[in-house]
Amino acid sequence: MSRVTDFINLSLNSSTIVAEYIWIGGSGLDLRSKARTLSTPIDDPQKLPKWNYDGSSTGQAHGNETEVILYPQAVFKDPFRRDNSILVLCDAYNSFEDPIYTNKRFNAAKIFGHPDVVREAPWFGIEQEYTLLQKDTKWPLGWPQGGFPSPQGPYYCGVGAEKAFGRDIVDAHYKACLYAGITIGGVNAEVMPGQWEFQVGPSPGLTAADELWVARYILERVAEIAGVIVSFSSKPVPGDWNGAGAHTNYSTKSMRKEGGYEAIEKAIKKLELRHKEHIASYGEGNEDRLTGNHETADINTFSWGVATRGASIRVGRETAKERKGYFEDRRPGSNMDPYVVTSMIAETTILWKP
């Protein structure tokens, strides 16, 4: 295969670049992409041409009106093609310039553009958990066929052939994201074997969600190369095995400055009052994960605490000590839409009045 690889890694000498346009498909979770040639390097999304795709093939258009228009919104370096080639994250519109139903970015952009929100400069750090599955059986990577590995305990941040499954995918993804320009803060092996986590942020408002979507895309491309499947299911294996979440760390200007702990407590109070609304938007199948066991809080009950992992919201010891900082919303499932979650947290805590 090395001759094929030689071509994939061929350096393009001219100013020609390839741009991979990425968008979210009809399920709201599946990622799609296609590539086009551009005659000169461009890194400003506003200068990139709009494009379109066949929405009837992704469950996003009906009848005779099949063209869905892609508006470039964010540009990253392409870690697969390298040179000056780029990844372009887009959101989707119909030909009348209205966002299509699955386009959650449009509404998030409105919330993050609101002057009160802009003033508070919200930052997000998202901990994306995911599970690697064997390709043909859809059973977690490293697990014996028709059986289970020994119980959880040795796997969290573990090392060794019988404890860590798929590290090459994780490490390739880490470097690829750094190369692409994503603010990836770290990685670790998770409690369930074959499960991993990476963190994106802290990034402001809309950028955090853009970066998370592109990081997910890069992850799926890397796993594709490795012949392994990525699952964002929030409870991939029932029973005494941890689920997968997307804990969302959050702070505003008021929370980060001296005495900000008061702003944190107020914000958490507002989130408590809108618990049901948030939970409804925090990802499909989350009720299988949020049981009160396996370091989660029960889905129907809102709770918060310092350094406690069994709560809906956790405040770190450092923040409690300094009386300022950030807090962690542990409720979102790994399959959540970061546009929805981040904008909803900002909206509830900054704009909404009880």
Residues binding other proteins (CB under 8 A): 1-2, 5, 8-9, 77, 79-80, 144, 153-154, 156-164, 167-169, 171-176, 178-179, 181, 184-189, 191, 222, 225-226, 295, 305, 307-310, 316-317
What are the start-end ranges of the H helices in the chain? 2-8, 105-113, 115-120, 167-180, 205-226, 253-256, 261-273, 275-280, 286-289, 317-322, 338-346
Q: Rounded to 10 degrees, what is the CA torsion of 54, 60, 63, 64?
A: -30
Name which of 60 and 251 has its Cβ closer to other proteins: 251
For the bound state, the minimum distance from the C-beta of residue 330 to other proteins, rounded and expressed in Å, comes to 12
Whole-angstrom CA distances from 100 to 70, 95, 282, 304 are 11, 10, 20, 36
Q: Which is nearer to other proteins, 1 or 63 (CB)?
A: 1
Size of the chain, expressed as the number of residues it contains: 354
Is the separation of the CB atoms in 176 and 132 below 8 Å? no
**Smallest separation, CB 129 to other proteins (Å):** 13
Between 274 and 294, name the residue whose CB sits nearer to other proteins: 294
Residue among 144 and 354 whose Cβ is closer to other proteins = 144
Decide whether 129 or 337 has the Cβ nearer to other proteins: 129
**How far apart are CB 205 and other proteins at their closest, in Å?**
20
DSSP assignment, residue 99?
B
111 vs 184, which CB is nearer to other proteins? Answer: 184
> Shortest gap between Cβ of 72 and other proteins (angstroms)?
21
Could you tell me the smallest distance in angstroms from the CB atom of residue 92 to other proteins? 29
For residues 331 and 274, is the Cβ–Cβ distance under 8 A? no
Write down the least CB distance from residue 81 to other proteins, Å.
Answer: 11
- DSSP code for 347: I
